[in-house]
Structure 1
Amino acid sequence: MNLSAREKRRVFLSLLLIIAAILMMYAKLFWIQVAASESYTSRDVNLVKNSVIQRQRALVLDSGRGEIYDRNMESFTGAPQRALVVFPIDQNSWGNIAQIAQLAKLLGIQPNTWVSYMKSLKEPQFWSPSSSVPFRLTKQMEQQLTALSLPYLKIVDRENRYPGNMTAKQLIGYTAQNPERIEAEYAIDLASGKLQLNSKLGESGLEKSFDYWLRGIGETSISYFTDGGKRPLSGLDARLIAPDNPYYPVKLVTTLDKSIQDQIEAFMDSMHIKEGAVVVQDVEQGDVIAMASRPDFNPLQVDLSSSSWSNHALKAIAPGSIFKTVVAAAALEEGVVDEHETFDCEGALGKYGFTCWRKEGHGPLTLEEGYAESCNIVFAKVMQRLTVEQLEKYASKLGLLIDNGWEGKAGTPEKLKQFDQEEAGHLFDARTPIHDEGVLMQTAIGQRDVRVTPLQASNMVVTLLHNGKSLSPRIVQSIRYSTDRVMEDFPVHQLDTEEGSISAKTSRKLLSWMRDVVTEGTGTGLQKAAWHLAGKSGTAQVEIGKQEKINQWFVGYGPVENPKYAVSVVVENVDPSASTKSIPLFKGVMDILAADDNSRK
């Protein structure tokens, strides 16, 4: 058919319009699927990059989180373990009958069990025969598996962040997936691909306090490439993807001593401590050397309805008679008591139902003797000479009304608090009639509304050993790059108590009285310890539901001649008829410290 020149031009223009329409359609699709999606969500999440990352990251081997070390560079968060990765592929690539039989024998299962497992496999997995924890390969197994030459099996190094024998769990904390928090706090990292919605963040402990640094710069993962029929692509089957930066992951260097921590927790378990805490501080700098909490918990399977993941060393509870240290300090500083005057204890005051733990009474006691014997009547009578304001002032001077842990600026827009969820102590509840005499008597012996944390209790002893000046305890001393170059440093600094400090004279006197507690008072059970020790006992009555329980405390220091450590221990919610565990626990902890000190000489 012959077309005129005019008709040819019309056909040509029509074709151009069709081509232009097609190009415009592709351009629109490109804009929607590629260009626009670079910031296509309300939080500027890069959909393309995230989708590509999700395709590449078939199985995460290492989260890229920084490691947590003790002061001697011993790791708490575990060394990598060798694990077996299994990739889903077509059945014809599983190996012959003999290979499958040999593989099943190596893994300790039946061949049909392996076949069923492979049929059900939808995505790459670490081989785990009976639990969620990947199977740890021995060197012999690794050699035998490698000899099978099955392309869909890969032996890799896998992050083992929370090993079964890990200690200081509540202090270190745990990580968990938290998509809402990632969207709210880390939209930029999500958009750049550093984080995905299923990435894990620190949810408690050091993992949370130092998440800003510990998160690192990306995960290490392994991908397996197949064709449309799930057959391995020759030369492209497995690919390791990892950040290429020699400075990461970082090292979080704590003040803890792992050996001491391990021994203390083992000792607590040998004593069957179900609930309680131990805090050990270095006297020179106030650093936390050990911090143990019970009950134990599994950071891989966290039950948020339980309190086991919570660090009891940072929780404010009724202190009982260890609080008499504050009353004694106030009485000495304010001059309301003469050192030689005596207070008569007949076992009860006759009003408010106020009694002494020794029903028959102690007879006449000086304040020093009343402290050693932990006489309730002596301290009730002393409290009658003090005001509420004075008591609060000296509780503040000794650091019992504020968070004690290290705080400060450290490369983050907000102030860093090293101790996650540390509670401040207090003397009175909001509705308590604080000027009521009966209330004040109960307060003077550490009952009623008084709450103190084990960390505050041990740091109170450190304060006395520093002539009344309070230090702010550290748990982390520095953050280092992988090259060991220091990224952040956390220097020792004093605790701002607002009210100032107590005098050196009063501090020395109270330390001497703590020695009396051991030589002739309620702490005589410590006389056979490896070191000469000093301290103060405490028993606080508490109610759990409708049951009466007690908290058993002991705080102190040692050795007396050259104090090196301040220690607080508490055994919580014990039956009132049970024997005292706090003094044997304190002795055991101090003996561990003494043995460690001797081993270093």
Structure 2
Amino acid sequence: MKPSQLSALEKRRIFLVLFAILLLFIGIIGKLFWIQIAATENYSSRGVNLLKNSVIQRQRALVLDSGRGEILDRNLKPLTGKMIKSLVVFPMSKEVSVDPQRVNQLVGILQTTKERWLAFSSQLKEPQVWSVTDTGKPFALSAGQETQIQTLTLPNVKVTEMEDRYPTGMTARQLIGFIGQNPDRVMRLYGEDLEKGKLTLTSKIGGSGLEKTFDLWLRGIGETSISYFTDAGKRPLAGLDARMIAPDNTFYPVKLVTTLDGSIQQRIEALMDNMHIRDGAVVVQEVKQGDIVAMASRPNYDPTQVDLASNNWSNYAVKATAPGSIFKTVVAAAALDEGAVDPKETFNCEGALGKYGFTCWLRAGHGPLTLEQGFAQSCNIVFAKVMQRLTASQLETYAHKLGVLDEVGWTGKTDTQPILHQLDAEESGQLFGAHTPHDDEGVLMQTAIGQRDVMLTPLQASNMIITLLHGGKGYSPRVVQEVRYQTDRLMESYAPKLQQVEAGRVSAATSKTLLNWMREVVTDGTGKGLQDAKWKLAGKSGTAQIQNGKQEKVNQWFIGYGPVATPKYAVSVVVKNLNASESNKSIPLFKGVMDILASSEGSSGR
């Protein structure tokens, strides 16, 4: 090949290489143009929004409303979710100057000190709400304070409406429950929503109470937040400062309409606190169909700062505990329905049975008593002797008939859930322990007076009264009537329902007899302290000896109904873990609750 030919070939190769480099360069420039200018909102097969993500890096957001549904009482008054005006404070660069005079004015409006304000605002890395010092709860601004702050036009503060989910003074806290983070439960229950990005592992869900049992409905469709956009130097971006971000759906959040009467609930809890009830519970049910009107538990707790290791957040109204002599109602029902006792025969009480170390609370003895009189005087010896005529199997059957061994709260199928238990963590009752000999005479006698292994809940106790008032037909008490959309259109409804009891029912005749005997408890027996109540009342007292660690304590009970002539409410109260030497608190508490109910009805009932 000639040199001249080789030179031309080389030139051509060089031209081709340079042309390829030029094309590659053009391609790179085009790609960069596409990424930076044309495709900033949808780049790559995963649809990554580059513009959005670049802004997010400079976005600071604060949740103002969880988006959870409201919980209302029967009169549609809110029990949760009070809306307040609050002050959101945003982090600012030191390069951004703020007029010191306007800062001093803000300090005065907030009724705080300049030192506290500067310590708070200068350390911010994320938006935060100005809070009350001792509680950490959002500081609620008055209308006047809101107007004054807005006139200051400070660049790093904004007045906005915010949900105070659990406001100070909120009632029914144990029944309503709390929300919190629970990654394991989120994965187990809401895996699909997690994958779709509707939830994160740190999303707050219902942890107890109605917040938990109705979490599927209450979760809503998203949070409302306020976002503030800054550049890398924390300087506000023009046109992108504070923005509200909220779901656009008129149907949410939903409304959970309960059967509670918020006013009655509040007054009962105030009564418990005024009486210094340390541990205890009150349940009020409407006689008509067993609906729960009030359910209170003590000690109280703060739903915003839950100590899971304590029991303060636990709802004692649905927790089983030793009942003492209120359980004699079950024994009396069995004895009457089974014909084990002649109503006219008498049992002699000398203060002690003479075996098993079994004694009566009245050590001097009551003398000869019929079963009716023994019920009114709550005589242990009478019931021990009656129990000698009954079997363990019969006693268990009647305990089931009266609903004191079973979970009684409303349970059923819904359109969105296979099975719904309205009451969270409701416990069953107990007659015998796992290793207790059922047919031992001494065991049966202790069981007959509500001691040994017997356990029942305050809700079961009040619902037993409802069952008797309906001639042996028991209801499954509701605490939630329905779920409504925000537009008030009905979403779910929970109709009243009778309990389905395989054991059958206590007879109407026996039910009527026991209700009459409960009147005598007040007129002639252990409930005489109720005679000056606003209504004529009837019921049954009980005191159970319990072991609390190494100390012996007592549970004091009173259960009953009123007014006697036209019963409207069944009530159960228990005051737990008292020293044996302490005066009786259950009867004054029962009387106080019934007086509250009488006042709410506007009648004396005497």
Give the TM-score, by structure 1 length. Answer: 0.93
The alpha-carbon deviation at position 109 of structure 1 amounts to: 3.9
Distance 1:212 1:4 in 2: 75
Q: Cα 1:507–1:249, aligned 2, differ >3 Å: closer, same or farther?
A: same
- Whether the 8 Å CA contact 1:216–1:248 is kept in 2: the answer is yes
Q: Which amino acid counterpart does residue 15 of structure 2 have in structure 1?
A: K
Q: Cα 1:193–1:593, aligned 2, differ >3 Å: closer, same or farther?
A: same
Check if 1:465 corresponds to 2:472: no
- Whether the 8 Å CA contact 2:107–2:113 is kept in 1: the answer is yes
Q: Which amino acid counterpart does residue 61 of structure 1 have in structure 2?
A: L
> Which consecutive unaligned segments of at least 5 residues does structure 2 have?
1-6
CA deviations on 1:216-253 (whole Å, 9 max, x unpaired) are 00000000111222111222111100000011110000
Q: Determine the structure 1 residue equivalent to 2:76.
A: 73
The alpha-carbon deviation at position 8 of structure 1 amounts to: 2.2
Q: Which amino acid counterpart does residue 344 of structure 2 have in structure 1?
A: H
Q: Determine the structure 2 residue equivalent to 1:402.
A: 406
Q: Cα 1:319–1:151, aligned 2, differ >3 Å: closer, same or farther?
A: same
Check if 1:122 corresponds to 2:125: yes
Distance 1:71 1:578 in 2: 37
Q: Determine the structure 2 residue equivalent to 1:430.
A: 434
Q: Determine the structure 2 residue equivalent to 1:492.
A: 496
Query: Among 280, 285, 289, which residue is 1:285 paired with?
Result: 289
Q: Determine the structure 2 residue equivalent to 1:158.
A: 162
SS in 2 for 1:328: helix
Check if 1:350 corresponds to 2:354: yes
Q: Determine the structure 1 residue equivalent to 2:3.
A: none
- Pairwise CA RMSD: 2.8
Check if 1:5 corresponds to 2:5: no
Query: Among 540, 543, 563, which residue is 1:539 paired with?
Result: 543
- Whether the 8 Å CA contact 2:55–2:229 is kept in 1: the answer is no
Distance 2:189 2:410 in 1: 24
Q: Cα 1:449–1:129, aligned 2, differ >3 Å: closer, same or farther?
A: closer
Q: Cα 1:336–1:34, aligned 2, differ >3 Å: closer, same or farther?
A: farther
Q: Cα 1:323–1:21, aligned 2, differ >3 Å: closer, same or farther?
A: same
SS in 2 for 1:562: coil
Count of matched residue pairs: 592
Check if 1:95 corresponds to 2:102: no
The alpha-carbon deviation at position 22 of structure 1 amounts to: 10
CA deviations on 1:182-204 (whole Å, 9 max, x unpaired) are 23322332333332333211100
The alpha-carbon deviation at position 570 of structure 1 amounts to: 0.4
Q: Determine the structure 2 residue equivalent to 1:479.
A: 483
CA deviations on 1:526-568 (whole Å, 9 max, x unpaired) are 1111111110000000010111110000000001100000000
- Whether the 8 Å CA contact 1:318–1:540 is kept in 2: the answer is yes
> Which consecutive unaligned segments of at least 5 residues does structure 1 have?
40-45
Q: Determine the structure 1 residue equivalent to 2:205.
A: 201
Q: Determine the structure 2 residue equivalent to 1:85.
A: 88
- Whether the 8 Å CA contact 2:229–2:241 is kept in 1: the answer is yes
Q: Cα 1:55–1:199, aligned 2, differ >3 Å: closer, same or farther?
A: farther
Q: Which amino acid counterpart does residue 119 of structure 1 have in structure 2?
A: S
Which structure would you say has the larger Rg? 2
Query: Among 494, 501, 506, which residue is 1:502 paired with?
Result: 506
The alpha-carbon deviation at position 457 of structure 1 amounts to: 0.1
Distance 2:220 2:53 in 1: 18
Q: Which amino acid counterpart does residue 111 of structure 2 have in structure 1?
A: G
Q: Cα 1:126–1:380, aligned 2, differ >3 Å: closer, same or farther?
A: same
Matches within 5 A, 1:157-176: 157-176=161-180
Q: Which amino acid counterpart does residue 61 of structure 2 have in structure 1?
A: A
The alpha-carbon deviation at position 300 of structure 1 amounts to: 0.9
498-507 or 228-237: which moved more? Answer: 228-237
Query: Among 283, 298, 301, which residue is 2:305 paired with?
Result: 301
SS in 1 for 2:455: coil
- Whether the 8 Å CA contact 2:324–2:545 is kept in 1: the answer is yes
Distance 2:412 2:490 in 1: 17
Q: Cα 1:129–1:458, aligned 2, differ >3 Å: closer, same or farther?
A: closer
Q: Cα 1:323–1:467, aligned 2, differ >3 Å: closer, same or farther?
A: same
CA deviations on 1:55-100 (whole Å, 9 max, x unpaired) are 7671000000001000001111142110000111222434122222
Q: Cα 1:365–1:599, aligned 2, differ >3 Å: closer, same or farther?
A: closer
Q: Cα 1:418–1:541, aligned 2, differ >3 Å: closer, same or farther?
A: same
Q: Which amino acid counterpart does residue 107 of structure 2 have in structure 1?
A: A
Check if 1:371 corresponds to 2:375: yes
Query: Among 138, 147, 150, which residue is 1:146 paired with?
Result: 150
SS in 1 for 2:497: coil
SS in 1 for 2:452: coil
Distance 1:257 1:437 in 2: 46
Matches within 5 A, 1:111-260: 111-128=114-131, 130-131=133-134, 132-260=136-264
- Whether the 8 Å CA contact 2:306–2:313 is kept in 1: the answer is yes
Q: Determine the structure 2 residue equivalent to 1:552.
A: 556
Check if 1:338 corresponds to 2:338: no
Q: Determine the structure 2 residue equivalent to 1:571.
A: 575
- Whether the 8 Å CA contact 1:50–1:196 is kept in 2: the answer is no
CA deviations on 1:257-309 (whole Å, 9 max, x unpaired) are 00100111111111111100000000001000000000011111111111110
Q: Determine the structure 1 residue equivalent to 2:444.
A: 440
Identity across matched positions, percent: 62
SS in 2 for 1:91: coil
Q: Cα 1:335–1:126, aligned 2, differ >3 Å: closer, same or farther?
A: same
- Whether the 8 Å CA contact 2:540–2:558 is kept in 1: the answer is yes
